[in-house]
Chain A
Amino acid sequence: MSYTGKVLRVNLNTGDVSREALNKDWAEKYFGGKGLGIKYVYEELREGIDPLSSANKLILTTGPFTGTIVPCSGRLALAAKSPATGTMLDCSIGGRFATQLKFAGYDMLIIEGQAENPACLVINDDKVEIRDASYLWGKSIFETESQLGEELGRESGILSIGTAGEKLVSIACIGTEYYRQAARGGIGAVMGSKKLKAIVCSGSKDVTVPDMPGLLKLVKRLIWEDVLTDANLGIYTDGTPQIVDMSNSAGVLPTRNYQDGVFEGASKINAAAIRRLKPRKKACPACALGCGNYIRIGDNAVEGPEYETLALVGSNCGVDDIEAIIKFNAECDDVGIDTISAGNIVGFAMEMTERGIKDFGIRFGDIETYLKMPRLIGCQEGMGEELSRGVRYLAKKYGGIEFAMEVKGLELPGYDPRGSWSMGLAYATAYRGGCHMAGFPIASEAFGAIDPFTIEGKAKLTIDAQHYCTIKFSLILCDFWAISLETMSELISCVRGREISVAELEKAAERIWNVGRLFNVREGFKSGEDTLPDRIFKDPLKSGTPAGRVLPRDQFDAMLREYYQLRGWDSNGIPTPEKLKELEM
């Protein structure tokens, strides 16, 4: 099997480093990545802990394909209890850290406790050290990575936090290779609460599979017939910015804090606009596609901006100046905050100001003030101190609750549910809050052939989409390979050395989804929190196909009821004992 069978556990309270066997039963049932990571979180965390206390754990998980030549298998999953939402949280990140961890001989890295002084964890195969990182504390992600690369080798995988993570900002991210992030839910604040500035990993061991000739034959065919297809290659040629035009045409591109779904400046921030900046391409390990668009303008460099940034930091703030968006993006990456939440917070502050509810001193399209925001928020300076607490906090304190665009405290990504009703259900039911990575039903709905303005069949569509993402990110494969469940089954069977059917994968996906749910139920989340911002229910969109549309609350409620039923949950959204038994949980 392609697992190393080893888990590295580091306790920052005591400085203890230990190695233990990977729980084989869980690896069989949850595979790796997202699934295995959240299973460990569920089993190891006590109920009701403070996510920023020493009782939270940061769990980094590879998967059965990590380190192999399976395409798009280079990502790492990170799981913990979220400081932004109090829910289960898992994120994923590209770059080389995951493969280095596997080559160092570990399937997982579990970090417990809190260091007394700023620390840096350095892993070099069997040698694991907790080093002092006082000299790095206060430095940005770019500075930190640059310095650690110089000291410990640029080929290492490096994860680090910026000032925002150190200050426990609830939208703090973890960065790697300068321009890639595990961004959502405050995962960077979890690392910051552990006083862990960085993790550096370098590995030199072999990764083996049971049938090397068989795997090479399969993968070679898949790269040319299934990965490098016209459908997938959009990610190589344009990357996610291609979604700007799709969203704008469908009328779901968040514009001025979701007041509209069509942005008059879309053509200035779309794939064509990015192409004119002549990006260079950068891939993660084993990725035949290569989505990274490396762009440098003056002192600012990014891989991107990705669609979510273009939408939330661009149109949602009424900004159509691509250079300003790139600068905002680069500042977020450096100070270490999530662009999706940052764009939402700034958009919310702009609407609050324009409506005269609370003057944050910033209006839609005011680029000069806007460009100061990432540092102010990330460093909690000036008005940034309040803004850093997120949209939910701001709305509770100052008003504007009806247009606070968040679910469970996590700010929404770039697809307006009024123009994609299935996406509304996906946001409402995602266990980490308003999230597009938990399920992406819009692909076959508002971006595909299914009517976006009906609830007919949407519960099933959303569940299928959630299961697809869940198993894909547990195996762990990148979102950007539009791989079928059948091909996943073929690959995992080859690497596991035994037949694993599509049905088995789907059952595992459902099991994993239920682990996330059970965690939230244990934390006291109620069905009433599976909901959407009032604006989605009450405030009609103004333009394009969904003009005049809301997602009517009664329709949403009916969709949610059907969703619970199909999931085998009771009317309060709690998994039934029968369902858990069926899933062997």
Chain B
Amino acid sequence: MKLVLDTERCTGCGICELVCSAVKEGVFNPRMACLKIHSGYRKGDLIVRGEFCDLCLECVEACPTGAITSENGSLSIDQESCSECGLCVDACPYGIINLSSSGKLLICDRCGGSPECVGWCPHEAIKKEESAT
């Protein structure tokens, strides 16, 4: 499953980031979110951009303990095997893998098939796209 952003509909409210950190880590912290919305003015233009896990698998390759796996169109993490080394955090090209303050690795696991960011978006700007892989 892929997540895509309709930049015309997105208002940049960041509710998706807040709900992500809330359900994954029990705190509000956009920096811990497994997606990133950029919405702001640059040179007099409103620029909106979203970064989502697109299963590039750089994190899977970087993980020395095999804690991150990819199956059925989603990543999953085995927290037991995770050594909190942070290599995946550095490897993620979008900066959306995070180690929480409690040491838990946060990755986009699509919330088990119903992503909270999609369900909470007030303007239906984040959409799911089922991919073949």
Residues of chain A touching chain B, judged by Cβ–Cβ distance below 8 Å, are 67-69, 103, 146, 149, 154-155, 177-179, 204-209, 212, 216, 220, 223, 227-228, 280-290, 292, 294, 296, 299, 301
Q: Which among B32, B40, B123 is the interface contact of A177 at CB below 8 angstroms?
A: B40
Query: Residue-by-residue, is B76-97 near A (CB-CB < 8 Å gives 1, otherwise 0)?
Result: 0000000000000000000000
Closest chain B CB from A358 CB (angstroms) = 38
Are A284 and B13 in contact (CB-based, < 8 A)? yes
B29-51 to A contact mask, C-beta < 8 Å, 1/0: 11110000011111111100000
| Distance to closest chain A CB from B16 (angstroms) | 10
Considering residues B29, B32, B41, B120, which has the most beta carbons from chain A within 10 angstroms of its beta carbon? B41
* Chain A residues with CB under 8 A of B73: none
Interface membership of B69, Cβ < 8 A: no
Q: Is the CB of B28 within 8 A of A282?
A: no
In the bound assembly, the distance between CA atoms of A287 and B12 in angstroms comes to 9
Please report the C-alpha to C-alpha distance between residue A15 and residue B29 in the assembled complex, in whole angstroms: 30
Binds A, one of B18-26, B54-62, B103-111: B18-26
Q: Which residue of B lies closest to A212 (CB)?
A: B26
Closest A residue to B28 using CB positions: A207
* Majority-rule SS of A interface residues: loop
Chain A, residue nearest B122 (CB): A288
Q: How far is the CB of B98 from chain A (nearest CB, A)?
A: 10
Contact B19 A205 (CB under 8 A): no
Interchain Cβ contacts under 8 Å between A and B, 15 examples: A67-B28, A68-B28, A69-B15, A149-B42, A154-B40, A155-B38, A155-B40, A206-B101, A208-B28, A227-B122, A228-B122, A283-B11, A285-B13, A286-B18, A301-B41
Task: Decide if the interface of chain B is mainly helix, strand, loop or mixed.
Answer: mixed
How far apart are the CA atoms of A543 and B28 in the complex, in Å?
A: 52
On B, residues with C-beta under 8 Å from A are 8, 11-15, 18-19, 21-23, 25-32, 38-46, 101, 120, 122-123
- Are the C-beta atoms of A216 and B19 separated by less than 8 Å? yes
Measured in the bound complex, the distance between the Cα atoms of B47 and A301 in whole Å is 14
Interface centre among B12, B31, B39 (most CB of A within 10 A): B12
CB-contact partner of A206 in B14, B32, B41, B42, under 8 A: B32
B-side contacts of A294, CB under 8 Å: 41, 46
- CB of A296 within 8 A of CB of B15, answer no
Bound-state Cα–Cα, A280 to B39, Å? 12
A residues near B8, Cβ cutoff 8 Å: 280
By a CB distance below 8 angstroms, the chain A residues around B13 are 283-288, 290
Q: Which residues of B contact A289 (CB under 8 A)?
A: 122
CB distance from B59 to the nearest CB of A (A): 21
Distance of B46 from chain A, by nearest CB (Å): 5
* Docked CA distance A299–B44 (Å): 8
Q: Which of B11, B22, B32, B101 contacts A287 (CB 8 A)?
A: B11
Q: Are B42 and A282 in contact, with the CB atoms below 8 A?
A: no
Smallest CB-CB separation from B45: which chain A residue? Answer: A296
Residue among A146, A212, A283 having the largest count of chain B Cβ atoms under 10 Å: A283
